[in-house]
A and B are shown apart, each in its own frame.
Chain A
Amino acid sequence: MSKYGWFGFLVCGAVWFGDILHPASIAVATSSVHAAEPAAHLEATVEIPRLNVSEYHRPYVALWIADQDRQVAANITVWYQLAGSREGEGTKWLPDLRQWWRRSGRGLEMPVDGVSAATRPPGEHTVKLAADDKRLAELAPGQYDLMIEASREVGGRELLTIPFTWPPRKTQTHDVQGTTELGKVSLTLTP
């Protein structure tokens, strides 16, 4: 596990990365009176399926919040190969996360504190954004999509979307079922 370790992204969430916000999403943010009242938080569970293939590599996975113009309102996490024989080696395959790369990745200096993390093995993995995480605290009320994109070496690519409304009025869980590179993904919003 790298220095951005297993839980690193949970505790480093407060690091601001406003430069990746698209102007459109900034406009949305400033047009509201103020973003979500205190304590709402977000938890996403991503299942990486166990695949019966002869050559298996852990997938690259990106989770982000997209606004209605498909611009990135917040980057939640990106799992990619952090270690390698040379510095930054694993970043070579980040563009395979096609949508994420276009919407956000290509404009980032990797690694990004609180976002970058190592690839995960098959199983369920939970990512939480705490209520005081700036990414949530500054998320303007409105309609969003949780985007989940996975791409695997010698494998395929899959993109899933979970639409949601922010902030939540009551605790809500939304699910989507992947078919190839992703299993079940669920999003729980807690007011």
Chain B
Amino acid sequence: MSRRNILIAVLLGGAIAAGIVIATMSRAPVEPRSAFIIPLPRELPEFSLVDQFGEPVNADTFHGQWDLVFFGFTQCPDICPTTMQILAHAKRELIDAGSNTLPRIVLVSVDPERDTPEILGRYVDYFGEGNLGVGGELGEVRKLTAALGIYFEKAPIDGDNYGVDHSAAVLVINPHGEFSALFSAPHSVANYVHDLAIVMEHN
């Protein structure tokens, strides 16, 4: 092989390699790993609840930002704090990665009898700034959960003590106040970091 032919071969090889790199970069990320994107985002129903500051919470509260909404209760020692921790951790990774669209983390209590605004406030604040804790009348919580397909039911433990069985999913509400995607349990920080960009892009 002459010197010229070697040069051509090297240049050609380099061009192919560069092409592969560019194609790979422009292709990612497309498919979510865990999130289910709802084909036709749904508006939230009418409901009337309160946040940790005693301020009213209704469908309008969910306009203007991305929200990650989890339904749980503060006397849940394992699943709920673990999920809140994962959401908070994912948000911190998005901040570190320089993401300019950060979701708000919302805990809607499925045990509003025991979860007063004061208790909810201390609870959500523990997992970071800007989180929203939502409580209120049980019937009003039911209006929201029924429209979103969220299950919850009291489960007696012993004596007067009880737990609450509840859907472990995290719902994504888009800035138009529409239920647009869902993360099923088990949750992982990596899946949120990977999928949220896709969910937001899809909007």
Partners in one complex: no
The interface of chain A, by Cβ under 8 A from chain B, is none
The interface of chain B, by Cβ under 8 A from chain A, is none
